[in-house]
Protein backbone atom coordinates (compact mmCIF):
# COMPACT_ATOMS: atom_id res chain seq x y z
CA UNK A 1 0.00 0.00 0.00
CA UNK A 2 1.35 3.44 -0.98
CA UNK A 3 2.79 5.69 1.72
CA UNK A 4 0.47 8.68 2.18
CA UNK A 5 0.58 12.28 3.36
CA UNK A 6 -1.05 11.11 6.61
CA UNK A 7 1.67 8.47 7.05
CA UNK A 8 4.32 11.18 6.70
CA UNK A 9 2.56 13.39 9.24
CA UNK A 10 2.48 10.46 11.69
CA UNK A 11 6.18 9.81 11.10
CA UNK A 12 7.00 13.46 11.71
CA UNK A 13 5.01 13.50 14.94
CA UNK A 14 6.70 10.32 16.16
CA UNK A 15 10.27 11.09 15.07
CA UNK A 16 10.53 14.85 15.41
CA UNK A 17 8.33 15.35 18.42
CA UNK A 18 8.45 19.03 19.41
CA UNK A 19 11.44 19.79 17.19
CA UNK A 20 11.04 22.43 14.48
CA UNK A 21 11.63 21.27 10.90
CA UNK A 22 13.73 23.77 8.93
CA UNK A 23 14.54 23.35 5.25
CA UNK A 24 17.40 25.45 3.86
CA UNK A 25 17.88 25.89 0.11
CA UNK A 26 19.09 28.42 -2.40
CA UNK A 27 15.92 28.31 -4.50
CA UNK A 28 12.65 29.36 -2.90
CA UNK A 29 9.44 27.31 -3.28
CA UNK A 30 7.35 30.37 -4.22
CA UNK A 31 8.31 33.71 -5.69
CA UNK A 32 6.40 36.95 -6.07
CA UNK A 33 6.31 39.13 -9.16
CA UNK A 34 4.26 42.01 -10.53
CA UNK A 35 1.71 41.26 -13.25
CA UNK A 36 -0.65 43.91 -14.55
CA UNK A 37 0.08 46.06 -11.51
CA UNK A 38 -0.67 43.31 -8.98
CA UNK A 39 1.59 41.10 -6.84
CA UNK A 40 1.31 37.50 -8.05
CA UNK A 41 2.73 34.33 -6.54
CA UNK A 42 4.07 31.43 -8.63
CA UNK A 43 6.17 28.31 -8.18
CA UNK A 44 9.58 28.34 -9.90
CA UNK A 45 10.82 25.38 -11.94
CA UNK A 46 13.26 22.88 -10.47
CA UNK A 47 13.22 19.34 -9.14
CA UNK A 48 14.08 20.20 -5.54
CA UNK A 49 11.27 22.73 -5.21
CA UNK A 50 8.77 20.44 -6.91
CA UNK A 51 9.64 17.58 -4.58
CA UNK A 52 9.95 19.39 -1.26
CA UNK A 53 6.90 21.66 -1.37
CA UNK A 54 4.43 18.77 -0.78
CA UNK A 55 6.57 17.63 2.16
CA UNK A 56 6.43 21.04 3.81
CA UNK A 57 2.71 21.30 3.12
CA UNK A 58 2.29 18.05 5.04
CA UNK A 59 4.75 18.73 7.87
CA UNK A 60 4.76 22.48 8.38
CA UNK A 61 7.84 24.30 9.63
CA UNK A 62 10.10 26.96 8.13
CA UNK A 63 11.77 27.06 4.71
CA UNK A 64 14.78 29.42 4.51
CA UNK A 65 15.66 30.45 0.94
CA UNK A 66 17.02 33.25 -1.21
CA UNK A 67 14.31 35.73 -2.18
CA UNK A 68 14.86 36.22 -5.92
CA UNK A 69 11.42 37.36 -7.12
CA UNK A 70 11.01 40.97 -8.23
CA UNK A 71 8.18 41.54 -5.72
CA UNK A 72 9.50 39.26 -2.95
CA UNK A 73 10.35 42.14 -0.61
CA UNK A 74 6.87 43.59 -0.98
CA UNK A 75 5.26 40.26 -0.02
CA UNK A 76 7.06 39.61 3.30
CA UNK A 77 6.37 40.96 6.78
CA UNK A 78 8.88 42.75 9.03
CA UNK A 79 10.58 39.43 9.82
CA UNK A 80 11.04 38.57 6.13
CA UNK A 81 8.30 35.93 6.47
CA UNK A 82 5.48 35.00 4.14
CA UNK A 83 3.01 32.15 4.62
CA UNK A 84 2.83 29.74 1.67
CA UNK A 85 1.30 28.38 -0.47
CA UNK A 86 -0.98 31.39 -1.02
CA UNK A 87 -4.15 29.33 -1.54
CA UNK A 88 -3.60 27.13 1.54
CA UNK A 89 -0.93 28.51 3.91
CA UNK A 90 0.80 25.52 5.48
CA UNK A 91 4.31 26.68 6.35
CA UNK A 92 6.51 29.76 6.66
CA UNK A 93 8.92 30.93 3.97
CA UNK A 94 11.81 32.98 5.41
CA UNK A 95 13.61 34.92 2.72
CA UNK A 96 17.31 35.74 2.71
CA UNK A 97 18.42 38.78 0.69
CA UNK A 98 21.57 38.86 -1.43
CA UNK A 99 23.22 41.77 -3.18
CA UNK A 100 23.91 41.52 -6.91
CA UNK A 101 27.59 41.11 -6.11
CA UNK A 102 26.87 38.23 -3.72
CA UNK A 103 24.57 36.55 -6.23
CA UNK A 104 27.19 36.91 -8.97
CA UNK A 105 29.98 35.38 -6.87
CA UNK A 106 28.12 32.76 -4.82
CA UNK A 107 25.46 31.59 -7.28
CA UNK A 108 26.65 32.32 -10.81
CA UNK A 109 30.28 32.03 -9.84
CA UNK A 110 31.42 29.35 -7.40
CA UNK A 111 28.18 27.32 -7.48
CA UNK A 112 27.43 27.31 -11.21
CA UNK A 113 30.73 28.04 -12.93
CA UNK A 114 32.52 25.73 -10.52
CA UNK A 115 30.55 23.06 -8.67
CA UNK A 116 27.78 22.43 -11.25
CA UNK A 117 30.08 21.46 -14.17
CA UNK A 118 32.44 19.69 -11.75
CA UNK A 119 29.66 17.31 -10.67
CA UNK A 120 28.11 16.71 -14.11
CA UNK A 121 29.99 14.72 -16.73
CA UNK A 122 28.95 17.01 -19.58
CA UNK A 123 32.47 18.06 -20.58
CA UNK A 124 32.16 21.69 -19.57
CA UNK A 125 35.28 22.87 -17.77
CA UNK A 126 34.70 24.09 -14.20
CA UNK A 127 36.10 27.48 -13.22
CA UNK A 128 37.13 28.45 -9.70
CA UNK A 129 37.93 31.93 -8.46
CA UNK A 130 39.10 33.03 -5.00
CA UNK A 131 36.79 36.05 -4.86
CA UNK A 132 33.80 33.87 -5.78
CA UNK A 133 34.83 31.42 -3.07
CA UNK A 134 34.72 34.27 -0.52
CA UNK A 135 31.23 35.17 -1.70
CA UNK A 136 30.21 31.50 -1.42
CA UNK A 137 31.55 31.36 2.16
CA UNK A 138 29.90 34.63 3.17
CA UNK A 139 26.51 33.75 1.68
CA UNK A 140 26.56 30.35 3.41
CA UNK A 141 27.18 32.25 6.66
CA UNK A 142 24.26 34.56 5.88
CA UNK A 143 21.97 31.51 5.50
CA UNK A 144 23.25 30.13 8.82
CA UNK A 145 22.48 33.39 10.59
CA UNK A 146 18.92 33.31 9.21
CA UNK A 147 18.42 29.68 10.28
CA UNK A 148 19.66 30.35 13.82
CA UNK A 149 17.41 33.39 14.06
CA UNK A 150 14.40 31.27 13.05
CA UNK A 151 15.22 28.49 15.52
CA UNK A 152 15.96 30.70 18.52
CA UNK A 153 16.26 28.51 21.58
CA UNK A 154 14.10 25.72 20.18
CA UNK A 155 15.23 22.22 19.29
CA UNK A 156 15.25 21.62 15.54
CA UNK A 157 16.01 19.33 12.65
CA UNK A 158 17.72 21.30 9.90
CA UNK A 159 17.53 19.86 6.40
CA UNK A 160 20.01 21.51 4.01
CA UNK A 161 19.59 21.15 0.24
CA UNK A 162 22.14 20.76 -2.52
CA UNK A 163 25.49 22.09 -3.66
CA UNK A 164 24.95 25.81 -2.98
CA UNK A 165 25.16 25.39 0.80
CA UNK A 166 27.95 22.89 1.50
CA UNK A 167 29.41 24.95 4.35
CA UNK A 168 26.14 25.47 6.23
CA UNK A 169 26.21 22.20 8.26
CA UNK A 170 29.64 22.85 9.75
CA UNK A 171 28.82 26.49 10.55
CA UNK A 172 25.56 25.43 12.22
CA UNK A 173 27.15 22.67 14.29
CA UNK A 174 29.84 25.01 15.60
CA UNK A 175 27.18 27.32 17.03
CA UNK A 176 24.53 24.74 17.91
CA UNK A 177 26.01 21.24 18.30
CA UNK A 178 22.64 20.04 19.68
CA UNK A 179 20.96 20.46 16.29
CA UNK A 180 20.34 17.41 14.12
CA UNK A 181 21.53 18.43 10.65
CA UNK A 182 20.97 16.56 7.41
CA UNK A 183 21.94 17.39 3.85
CA UNK A 184 20.38 16.13 0.63
CA UNK A 185 22.54 16.30 -2.49
CA UNK A 186 20.29 16.70 -5.53
CA UNK A 187 22.90 16.39 -8.30
CA UNK A 188 25.43 13.62 -9.08
CA UNK A 189 28.53 13.24 -6.93
CA UNK A 190 31.49 12.72 -9.29
CA UNK A 191 34.31 10.23 -8.90
CA UNK A 192 37.23 11.23 -6.69
CA UNK A 193 39.57 12.04 -9.58
CA UNK A 194 37.10 14.63 -10.86
CA UNK A 195 36.36 16.16 -7.46
CA UNK A 196 40.04 16.68 -6.66
CA UNK A 197 40.06 19.35 -9.41
CA UNK A 198 38.27 21.64 -6.94
CA UNK A 199 40.82 23.79 -5.04
CA UNK A 200 38.52 23.91 -1.99
CA UNK A 201 37.74 20.20 -1.91
CA UNK A 202 38.91 19.63 1.67
CA UNK A 203 36.83 22.47 3.15
CA UNK A 204 33.75 21.42 1.18
CA UNK A 205 34.00 17.76 2.19
CA UNK A 206 34.56 18.75 5.83
CA UNK A 207 31.42 20.89 5.56
CA UNK A 208 29.38 17.90 4.43
CA UNK A 209 30.89 15.64 7.10
CA UNK A 210 29.45 17.92 9.78
CA UNK A 211 26.03 16.53 8.86
CA UNK A 212 24.50 13.77 10.93
CA UNK A 213 22.89 12.37 7.77
CA UNK A 214 23.96 12.87 4.16
CA UNK A 215 21.63 11.72 1.39
CA UNK A 216 22.20 11.05 -2.31
CA UNK A 217 19.79 9.80 -4.97
CA UNK A 218 21.57 6.53 -5.70
CA UNK A 219 24.15 4.27 -4.05
CA UNK A 220 26.65 4.88 -6.84
CA UNK A 221 26.91 8.53 -5.74
CA UNK A 222 27.37 7.39 -2.12
CA UNK A 223 30.29 5.22 -3.21
CA UNK A 224 31.83 8.11 -5.14
CA UNK A 225 31.57 10.24 -2.01
CA UNK A 226 33.28 7.55 0.10
CA UNK A 227 36.14 7.41 -2.43
CA UNK A 228 36.44 11.20 -2.33
CA UNK A 229 36.64 11.23 1.46
CA UNK A 230 39.29 8.49 1.44
CA UNK A 231 41.50 10.51 -0.89
CA UNK A 232 40.87 13.89 0.77
CA UNK A 233 40.80 13.49 4.57
CA UNK A 234 41.88 11.33 7.46
CA UNK A 235 38.58 9.61 8.27
CA UNK A 236 37.26 6.19 9.23
CA UNK A 237 34.84 4.78 6.68
CA UNK A 238 32.55 1.91 7.63
CA UNK A 239 31.03 0.58 4.41
CA UNK A 240 28.90 -1.97 6.26
CA UNK A 241 27.14 0.72 8.27
CA UNK A 242 27.52 3.28 5.48
CA UNK A 243 29.02 5.80 7.87
CA UNK A 244 32.05 8.08 8.08
CA UNK A 245 33.72 9.23 11.30
CA UNK A 246 35.79 12.40 11.02
CA UNK A 247 37.13 14.41 13.97
CA UNK A 248 35.01 12.27 16.31
CA UNK A 249 31.74 13.02 14.49
CA UNK A 250 29.77 10.33 12.67
CA UNK A 251 27.95 11.03 9.40
CA UNK A 252 25.54 8.42 8.07
CA UNK A 253 25.47 8.26 4.26
CA UNK A 254 22.34 6.92 2.58
CA UNK A 255 20.71 6.63 -0.83
CA UNK A 256 17.20 8.14 -0.97
CA UNK A 257 15.81 8.24 -4.53
CA UNK A 258 13.65 11.38 -4.67
CA UNK A 259 10.15 11.27 -6.15
CA UNK A 260 6.94 13.25 -6.74
CA UNK A 261 3.49 13.58 -5.21
CA UNK A 262 1.93 10.88 -7.40
CA UNK A 263 -1.60 11.15 -6.00
CA UNK A 264 -1.76 14.94 -6.26
CA UNK A 265 -0.52 14.94 -9.86
CA UNK A 266 -2.88 12.10 -10.78
CA UNK A 267 -5.83 13.90 -9.23
CA UNK A 268 -5.03 17.23 -10.91
CA UNK A 269 -4.55 15.48 -14.26
CA UNK A 270 -8.02 13.94 -14.05
CA UNK A 271 -9.99 17.15 -13.58
CA UNK A 272 -12.41 18.42 -16.25
CA UNK A 273 -10.34 21.61 -16.39
CA UNK A 274 -7.36 19.62 -17.69
CA UNK A 275 -9.27 18.56 -20.80
CA UNK A 276 -10.05 22.21 -21.42
CA UNK A 277 -6.33 23.03 -21.28
CA UNK A 278 -5.27 20.29 -23.71
CA UNK A 279 -7.55 21.25 -26.63
CA UNK A 280 -6.19 24.83 -27.02
CA UNK A 281 -2.64 23.43 -27.23
CA UNK A 282 -3.61 21.45 -30.32
CA UNK A 283 -4.88 24.65 -31.89
CA UNK A 284 -2.00 26.88 -30.74
CA UNK A 285 0.70 24.57 -32.06
CA UNK A 286 -1.21 23.36 -35.14
CA UNK A 287 -1.14 19.69 -34.15
CA UNK A 288 -4.11 18.66 -36.30
CA UNK A 289 -3.06 15.71 -38.44
CA UNK A 290 -0.08 14.94 -36.19
CA UNK A 291 -0.02 11.28 -35.20
CA UNK A 292 2.80 11.40 -32.63
CA UNK A 293 3.63 14.23 -30.22
CA UNK A 294 7.04 14.09 -28.56
CA UNK A 295 7.71 16.34 -25.60
CA UNK A 296 10.70 17.61 -23.63
CA UNK A 297 10.67 19.84 -20.54
CA UNK A 298 13.96 21.26 -19.26
CA UNK A 299 15.79 24.29 -18.09
CA UNK A 300 18.11 25.34 -20.90
CA UNK A 301 21.22 23.65 -19.55
CA UNK A 302 24.13 21.80 -21.16
CA UNK A 303 23.53 18.76 -18.90
CA UNK A 304 20.03 18.10 -20.28
CA UNK A 305 20.99 16.75 -23.71
CA UNK A 306 18.72 19.13 -25.65
CA UNK A 307 21.10 19.38 -28.63
CA UNK A 308 21.43 15.58 -28.65
CA UNK A 309 17.66 15.00 -28.80
CA UNK A 310 17.31 17.44 -31.70
CA UNK A 311 20.14 15.68 -33.55
CA UNK A 312 18.49 12.32 -32.86
CA UNK A 313 15.18 13.56 -34.27
CA UNK A 314 17.04 14.83 -37.33
CA UNK A 315 18.64 11.40 -37.83
CA UNK A 316 15.30 9.68 -37.27
CA UNK A 317 13.66 11.74 -40.03
CA UNK A 318 16.61 11.07 -42.35
CA UNK A 319 16.20 7.31 -41.86
CA UNK A 320 12.41 7.23 -41.78
CA UNK A 321 11.09 10.06 -43.99
CA UNK A 322 7.62 8.46 -44.04
CA UNK A 323 7.07 10.10 -40.62
CA UNK A 324 7.53 13.62 -41.97
CA UNK A 325 4.35 15.59 -41.32
CA UNK A 326 3.18 12.96 -38.81
CA UNK A 327 5.41 13.78 -35.85
CA UNK A 328 5.95 16.95 -33.81
CA UNK A 329 8.54 17.50 -31.11
CA UNK A 330 7.63 20.21 -28.56
CA UNK A 331 10.54 21.42 -26.46
CA UNK A 332 9.68 23.56 -23.42
CA UNK A 333 12.74 25.41 -22.18
CA UNK A 334 13.07 28.10 -19.54
CA UNK A 335 16.19 30.20 -20.00
CA UNK A 336 18.53 29.83 -17.02
CA UNK A 337 21.82 31.28 -15.79
CA UNK A 338 21.89 33.48 -18.89
CA UNK A 339 24.50 35.73 -17.19
CA UNK A 340 27.07 32.98 -17.81
CA UNK A 341 28.67 32.87 -21.26
CA UNK A 342 28.41 29.07 -21.57
CA UNK A 343 24.61 29.34 -21.22
CA UNK A 344 24.38 32.19 -23.74
CA UNK A 345 26.39 30.07 -26.17
CA UNK A 346 24.17 27.04 -25.53
CA UNK A 347 21.03 29.07 -26.15
CA UNK A 348 22.46 30.34 -29.45
CA UNK A 349 23.50 26.81 -30.44
CA UNK A 350 20.02 25.41 -29.71
CA UNK A 351 18.44 28.16 -31.81
CA UNK A 352 20.82 27.41 -34.69
CA UNK A 353 20.28 23.62 -34.56
CA UNK A 354 16.48 23.97 -34.38
CA UNK A 355 16.50 26.31 -37.37
CA UNK A 356 18.79 23.95 -39.31
CA UNK A 357 16.71 20.82 -38.65
CA UNK A 358 13.38 22.57 -39.28
CA UNK A 359 14.66 24.03 -42.56
CA UNK A 360 15.99 20.63 -43.63
CA UNK A 361 12.80 18.64 -43.03
CA UNK A 362 9.91 21.14 -43.10
CA UNK A 363 7.15 21.44 -45.67
CA UNK A 364 4.91 24.42 -46.41
CA UNK A 365 2.55 23.47 -43.57
CA UNK A 366 4.74 21.54 -41.13
CA UNK A 367 8.01 21.75 -39.18
CA UNK A 368 9.18 18.99 -36.84
CA UNK A 369 10.37 21.08 -33.86
CA UNK A 370 8.34 23.56 -31.84
CA UNK A 371 10.32 25.55 -29.25
CA UNK A 372 8.30 27.03 -26.39
CA UNK A 373 10.35 29.56 -24.43
CA UNK A 374 8.08 30.72 -21.67
CA UNK A 375 7.45 29.89 -18.05
CA UNK A 376 4.52 27.51 -17.69
CA UNK A 377 2.18 27.14 -14.75
CA UNK A 378 2.05 23.60 -13.40
CA UNK A 379 -1.43 22.99 -14.84
CA UNK A 380 -0.08 23.89 -18.29
CA UNK A 381 2.80 21.45 -17.85
CA UNK A 382 0.34 18.70 -16.92
CA UNK A 383 -1.65 19.49 -20.07
CA UNK A 384 1.48 18.93 -22.16
CA UNK A 385 2.12 15.64 -20.35
CA UNK A 386 -1.43 14.55 -21.22
CA UNK A 387 -0.93 15.57 -24.83
CA UNK A 388 2.46 13.92 -25.36
CA UNK A 389 2.59 10.39 -26.77
CA UNK A 390 6.29 10.28 -25.95
CA UNK A 391 8.21 12.11 -23.20
CA UNK A 392 11.94 12.48 -23.88
CA UNK A 393 14.43 12.79 -21.01
CA UNK A 394 17.90 12.82 -22.55
CA UNK A 395 20.11 14.13 -19.73
CA UNK A 396 23.83 13.64 -20.25
CA UNK A 397 24.16 13.32 -16.46
CA UNK A 398 21.43 13.82 -13.86
CA UNK A 399 20.92 13.17 -10.17
CA UNK A 400 17.37 11.83 -10.58
CA UNK A 401 15.10 13.73 -13.01
CA UNK A 402 11.68 14.63 -11.72
CA UNK A 403 10.17 15.22 -15.18
CA UNK A 404 10.23 11.49 -15.88
CA UNK A 405 8.20 10.75 -12.73
CA UNK A 406 5.79 13.66 -13.28
CA UNK A 407 5.01 12.41 -16.80
CA UNK A 408 4.24 8.94 -15.48
CA UNK A 409 2.03 10.34 -12.70
CA UNK A 410 0.06 12.49 -15.17
CA UNK A 411 -0.70 9.58 -17.53
CA UNK A 412 -3.98 8.58 -15.94
CA UNK A 413 -5.01 6.98 -19.26
CA UNK A 414 -2.28 4.37 -18.74
CA UNK A 415 -0.77 5.24 -22.12
CA UNK A 416 2.36 7.02 -23.33
CA UNK A 417 6.05 6.11 -23.65
CA UNK A 418 8.96 7.38 -21.58
CA UNK A 419 12.27 7.66 -23.45
CA UNK A 420 14.85 7.86 -20.66
CA UNK A 421 18.60 8.49 -20.68
CA UNK A 422 20.60 5.74 -18.99
CA UNK A 423 22.58 8.49 -17.25
CA UNK A 424 19.72 9.62 -14.99
CA UNK A 425 19.14 8.43 -11.45
CA UNK A 426 15.57 7.65 -12.52
CA UNK A 427 16.90 4.93 -14.85
CA UNK A 428 17.77 2.85 -11.76
CA UNK A 429 14.08 2.62 -10.83
CA UNK A 430 12.02 3.00 -14.02
CA UNK A 431 12.94 -0.23 -15.77
CA UNK A 432 9.92 -0.17 -18.10
CA UNK A 433 11.03 3.04 -19.78
CA UNK A 434 12.98 2.81 -23.05
CA UNK A 435 16.61 3.43 -22.15
CA UNK A 436 19.19 4.95 -24.47
CA UNK A 437 22.62 6.56 -24.53
CA UNK A 438 22.14 10.23 -25.52
CA UNK A 439 25.72 10.40 -26.83
CA UNK A 440 24.87 7.67 -29.38
CA UNK A 441 22.73 9.56 -31.90
CA UNK A 442 22.18 6.47 -34.07
CA UNK A 443 20.84 4.45 -31.14
CA UNK A 444 18.79 7.44 -29.94
CA UNK A 445 17.11 7.70 -33.36
CA UNK A 446 16.28 4.00 -33.29
CA UNK A 447 14.75 4.34 -29.83
CA UNK A 448 12.49 7.10 -31.17
CA UNK A 449 11.34 4.67 -33.85
CA UNK A 450 10.78 1.95 -31.23
CA UNK A 451 8.67 4.33 -29.14
CA UNK A 452 6.54 5.38 -32.12
CA UNK A 453 6.00 1.87 -33.43
CA UNK A 454 5.42 0.21 -30.04
CA UNK A 455 2.13 -1.74 -30.02
CA UNK A 456 -0.63 -0.25 -27.87
CA UNK A 457 -0.73 -3.32 -25.62
CA UNK A 458 2.99 -3.04 -24.80
CA UNK A 459 2.70 0.71 -24.22
CA UNK A 460 -0.02 0.21 -21.65
CA UNK A 461 1.79 -2.67 -19.94
CA UNK A 462 4.93 -0.60 -19.58
CA UNK A 463 3.06 2.49 -18.35
CA UNK A 464 1.06 0.45 -15.83
CA UNK A 465 4.30 -0.93 -14.39
CA UNK A 466 5.90 2.53 -14.30
CA UNK A 467 2.90 4.02 -12.52
CA UNK A 468 3.01 1.28 -9.89
CA UNK A 469 6.67 2.12 -9.14
CA UNK A 470 6.10 5.89 -8.81
CA UNK A 471 2.88 5.42 -6.84
CA UNK A 472 4.63 3.15 -4.36
CA UNK A 473 7.87 5.15 -4.14
CA UNK A 474 6.27 8.58 -3.87
CA UNK A 475 7.56 11.81 -2.30
CA UNK A 476 5.97 11.05 1.07
CA UNK A 477 7.79 7.74 1.32
CA UNK A 478 11.06 9.47 0.37
CA UNK A 479 10.62 12.11 3.06
CA UNK A 480 9.37 9.54 5.57
CA UNK A 481 12.49 7.43 5.10
CA UNK A 482 14.75 10.44 5.67
CA UNK A 483 12.83 11.68 8.70
CA UNK A 484 12.85 8.17 10.16
CA UNK A 485 16.66 8.28 9.90
CA UNK A 486 16.54 11.69 11.63
CA UNK A 487 14.61 10.07 14.46
CA UNK A 488 17.12 7.23 14.82
CA UNK A 489 19.97 9.74 15.05
CA UNK A 490 18.08 11.68 17.72
CA UNK A 491 17.42 8.47 19.68
CA UNK A 492 21.09 7.45 19.49
CA UNK A 493 22.20 10.94 20.60
CA UNK A 494 19.82 10.82 23.56
CA UNK A 495 21.04 7.32 24.52
CA UNK A 496 24.68 8.47 24.46
CA UNK A 497 23.89 11.44 26.71
CA UNK A 498 22.28 9.13 29.30
pLDDT band at 494 (very low <50, low <70, confident <90, very high): low
pLDDT tops 60 at residue 496: no
Q: What is the pLDDT of residues 225-234, one digit of tens each?
A: 999 999 999 9
Q: How far apart are CA 222 and CA 464, in angstroms?
A: 30
Give pLDDT, residue 47. Answer: 74
- Cα distance between the two ends of the chain: 38
Question: Of residues 375 and 414, which shows the higher confidence score?
Answer: 414
Average pLDDT, the chain: 94
8 Å CB contact between 400 and 258 = yes
Q: How far apart are CA 286 and CA 434, in angstroms?
A: 28
Q: Which range among 43-57, 247-261, 383-397 shows the weakest confidence by mean pLDDT?
A: 43-57
Q: How far apart are CA 400 and CA 407, in angstroms?
A: 14
Q: How far apart are CA 294 and CA 279, in angstroms?
A: 16
Give pLDDT, residue 455. Answer: 97
Give pLDDT, residue 37. Answer: 85
pLDDT tops 60 at residue 498: no
pLDDT tops 50 at residue 352: yes
Give pLDDT, residue 373. Answer: 86
Percent of the chain with pLDDT over 70: 98
pLDDT band at 36 (very low <50, low <70, confident <90, very high): confident
Q: What is the pLDDT of residues 58-111, one digit of tens each?
A: 999 999 999 999 999 999 999 999 999 998 999 999 999 999 999 999 999 999
Domains of the chain: 5-259+476-497 (3.40.50.2000), 264-472 (3.40.50.2000)
Q: Please give the average per-residue pLDDT across 441-463, as a whole number.
A: 98
Give pLDDT, residue 474. Answer: 95
Give pLDDT, residue 491. Answer: 64
Q: What is the pLDDT of residues 286-327, one digit of tens each?
A: 999 999 999 999 999 999 999 999 999 999 999 999 999 999
Q: What is the pLDDT of residues 131-167, one digit of tens each?
A: 999 999 999 999 999 999 999 999 999 999 999 999 9
Ramachandran bin of 442, using left for φ above 0, alpha for ψ from -120 to 50, beta for the remaining angles = alpha
Give pLDDT, residue 497. Answer: 47
Amino acid sequence: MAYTKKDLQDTVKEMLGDRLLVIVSNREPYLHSIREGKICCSRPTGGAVTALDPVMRACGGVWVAYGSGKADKQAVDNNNHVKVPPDDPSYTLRRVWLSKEEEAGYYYGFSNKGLWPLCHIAYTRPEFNENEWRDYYNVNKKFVDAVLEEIGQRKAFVWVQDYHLMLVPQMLKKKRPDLIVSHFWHIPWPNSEVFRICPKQKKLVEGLLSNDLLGFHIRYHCENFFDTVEKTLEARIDRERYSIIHNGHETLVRAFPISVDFNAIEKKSNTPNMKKLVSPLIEEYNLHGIDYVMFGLDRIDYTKGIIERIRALDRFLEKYPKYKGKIAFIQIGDLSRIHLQVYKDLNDEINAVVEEVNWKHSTETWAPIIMVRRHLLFDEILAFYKLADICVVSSLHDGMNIVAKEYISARTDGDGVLLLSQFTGAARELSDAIYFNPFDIEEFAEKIRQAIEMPAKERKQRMTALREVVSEKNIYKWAGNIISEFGKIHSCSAAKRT
